[in-house]
């Protein structure tokens, strides 16, 4: 991202924060700013498939985050577990070993991109070109800071465990992390500056897919998951 775009985004964010702070002080409530689409997150192909209203639901449902970063000009993408709660819409949490290259880079505040994908169906068509996938996906851009406070760490880890394993309670279903386990783990909070969400839904759209007399076959293979499934 060039410096001018980054500065403009920062200035816009500061302005938005000021407006929200004034509103928040007026209403005496905690208000969280939601990221907006920006220069990195403008959907170019099939913009009609943008689903900005579903970003939070997708992030709250997804299981794997693909985390992209650059080191010395070399791009990397690493799959990770993550935590997200719509109550803190502009934050996403990642954790790993203190020795991990990725975690060290994130801790230094490197720019990061995170993709979360829900695959809902495999779409087959009577024409090769029109085979496709039904999906909902989010791409976020931001920077991380290390969560140092132990109480905050425990809170995020316990919330994350409950997101993956609803109903599991620390102290009852599992022993809470020890201080030593927390010490060897790095937890970072990614402040999401921009995000976008996109979906493909429905059946195949090939020229013969609605013609039952045409040769071949067409349809959708539903991909079911434990939670958040749709076809
Ligand atoms: C579903 C899933 C969830 C995970 N959750 C976490 C998590 O929450 N925290 C965590 O620290 N780690 C997690 N991992 C492991 C993670 O993908 C990395 O392997 C790990 O973080 C090591 O990072 P590193 O910085 O040491 O790797 P690096 O030193 O950056 O890795 C060096 C190279 O090793 C290869 N590599 C690394 N990881 C993988 C991989 N997963 N698959 C294939 N090649 C790989 C790549 O080529 C990479 O460029 C998860 C993996 C999966 C698949």
Instruction: Report DSSP letters for 44-72, one per residue.
Output: -SSGGGB-GGGHHHHHHH---EEEEEEET
Q: Both 46 and 17 in a single domain?
A: no
Residues 106, 2, single domain; the answer is: no
pLDDT attached to residue 25 = 38
- Which residue, by CA, sits nearest to atom 5 of ligand 1? 80
Q: How far apart are CA 91 and CA 210, in angstroms?
A: 44
Residue 37 is predicted with a pLDDT of 75
11 and 42 assigned to the same domain: no
Same domain, 46 and 139: yes
* Residue 229 resides in a domain: no
- Per-residue model confidence (pLDDT) at position 26: 44
Domain shared by 59 and 80, yes or no: yes
Q: Are 69 and 106 in contact (CB under 8 A)?
A: yes
Same domain, 43 and 22: no
Using the atom order of ligand 1, give the atom closest to the CA of residue 102.
25
pLDDT of residue 91: 97
At 154 the pLDDT is 96
Point out the residues of the chain with pLDDT beneath 70.
Answer: 1-32, 225-231
Ligand 1 mean position to 57 CA, how many Å?
25
| 189 and 163 in a common domain | yes
Distance from the CA of 150 to the center of ligand 1, in angstroms?
25
- Give the pLDDT score at 32: 57
Per-residue pLDDT at 48? 85
Span from the CA of 55 to the centroid of ligand 1 (angstroms): 25
Q: Are residues 58 and 112 in the same domain?
A: yes
Nearest to 7 by CA among 31, 34, 28, 38: 38
Question: Ligand 1: distance of its center to the CA of 228 in Å?
Answer: 25
Domain that holds residue 6: 1-31
Q: What is the pTM of this model?
A: 0.85
Whether residue 123 is found in the same domain as residue 148? yes
Nearest ligand 1 atom, CA 103 = 25
Pocket of ligand 1 (CB under 6 A): 64, 76, 78-81, 95-97, 100-102
On whether residue 231 sits in a domain, the answer given is no
164: in domain = yes
CA 74 vs CA 68, 71, 77, 99, 219: distances in Å = 11, 5, 10, 20, 40
Q: Please give the pLDDT value at position 44.
A: 82
Residues 192 and 184: their CA atoms lie apart, in Å, by 25
Both 6 and 84 in one domain: the answer is no
Q: What is the pLDDT of residues 19-35, one digit of tens each?
A: 443 344 344 444 557 88
Residue 226's pLDDT is 59
């Amino acid at each position: 991202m060039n410096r001018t775009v980054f500065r403009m985004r920062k200035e816009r964010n500061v302005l938005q924060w000021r407006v929200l702070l004034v509103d928040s002080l007026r209403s005496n409530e905690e208000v969280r700013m939601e990221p907006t689409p920006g220069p990195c997150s403008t959907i170019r192909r099939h913009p009609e498939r943008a689903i900005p209203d579903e970003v939070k639901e997708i992030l709250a449902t997804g299981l794997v985050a693909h985390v992209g970063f650059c080191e010395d000009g070399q791009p990397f993408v690493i799959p990770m577990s993550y935590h997200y709660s719509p109550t803190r819409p502009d934050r996403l949490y990642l954790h790993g070993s203190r020795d991990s290259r990725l975690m060290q880079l994130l801790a230094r505040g490197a720019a990061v991109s995170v993709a979360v994908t829900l695959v809902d169906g495999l779409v087959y068509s009577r024409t090769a070109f029109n085979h496709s996938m039904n999906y909902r996906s989010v791409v976020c851009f931001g920077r991380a800071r290390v969560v140092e406070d132990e109480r905050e760490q425990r809170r995020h880890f316990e919330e994350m465990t409950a997101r993956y394993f609803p109903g599991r309670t620390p102290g009852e279903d599992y022993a809470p992390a020890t201080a030593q386990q927390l010490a060897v783990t790095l937890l970072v909070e990614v402040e999401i500056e921009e995000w976008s969400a996109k979906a493909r839904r429905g059946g195949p759209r090939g020229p013969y897919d609605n013609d039952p007399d045409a040769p071949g076959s067409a349809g959708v293979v539903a991909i079911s998951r434990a939670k958040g499934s749709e076809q």
